[in-house]
Copies of this chain bind each other. A is one copy, B any other.
């Protein structure tokens, strides 16, 4: 089959790789129907050291089950399924607590001999725990929205949930990328009435307004902090959803959070230290968030997606074939695309 490999910064190729086959009785083989490129794929695309052999990439996909191992129940050939961006047995103590990203028998896609999502097919380990069956066919108009359940929408949701967003909390979302916009949608869905979106790409913040943002702040740094404080009577917001992962973003987060409030971060941090100094301490600010256990949220979010009450698929603004994936990376990297859907 063909799949995407990354050889280093700016160097993504589509190549022939071995067809996946069942290896363990807990495996399934899934033919990919839709995949996509993640903001977190753009980090290695921007900076990864060149290697001779290349490595698989991609961790979001939905597809049709082609085969299942003897120990897989509840999933059968022909089912349309979505995979969360971390695979997990969904039965260990961490999984039962809703932290499938720390599963005792789970792991990451595109690592250690596991296929990536940006290819024609995937061997899925711990298939019974990992995959969620979708009650639509592979030609459904809902596929983009359903694919968003793999990562981007649950990631925004995780950010809002861990921050404690509810109808009584004010919210700032930092970042108008696909995760930031998904966080706006999640905050709105959880009942937040004031959602301030910090971002400066008008087409993106327009979608943010459609998703529920009540205010848009285009300014950054000190100016951005001042503007958010102005919009909140000087206090900042109870919750801040940091959806970027760069140090200036987390600095801004501490600047716009209300005393006693919570900053949640889901943008993979590209910095080793958090500037949570004595000032942050004295204001009793909580820092939470992390890699979203998407698996914990898929069933919860699915009904609203199926019934169209939320439309998280709107973050996809370009579709490519597998051969065009390198173009998709370029478009994500130069920000001409918000999020790229792959139709293999």
Contacts and interface: CB of A to CB of B under 8 A. Distances in A.
Interface stretch (A48-56, A65-73, A147-155, A268-276): A268-276
Contacts of A281: 265, 268-269, 289-291
A282 B275 contact: no
Given A94-B259, A260-B97, A286 B287 contact: yes
Interface string A67-93: 000000000000000000000000000
Interface in A276-299: 276-278, 280-291, 293
Please give the count of copies of this chain that the complex contains. 2
Contacts of A166: none
A275 B269 CA distance: 12
A286 B283 contact: no
Nearest to A276: B274
A155 to B, nearest CB: 12
Range for the number of chain A residues in contact with chain B:
20 to 34
A269 B277 contact: yes
A99 interface: yes
Contact of A260 (B94, B260, B272): B94
28 contacts: A94-B259, A94-B260, A99-B259, A99-B260, A101-B284, A102-B283, A162-B284, A265-B281, A268-B278, A271-B277, A272-B277, A272-B278, A273-B273, A273-B274, A273-B275, A273-B276, A274-B274, A274-B276, A274-B287, A276-B276, A281-B290, A281-B291, A283-B290, A284-B290, A284-B291, A286-B286, A286-B287, A286-B288
Interface of A: 94, 97, 99, 101-102, 162, 259-260, 265, 268-269, 271-278, 280-291, 293
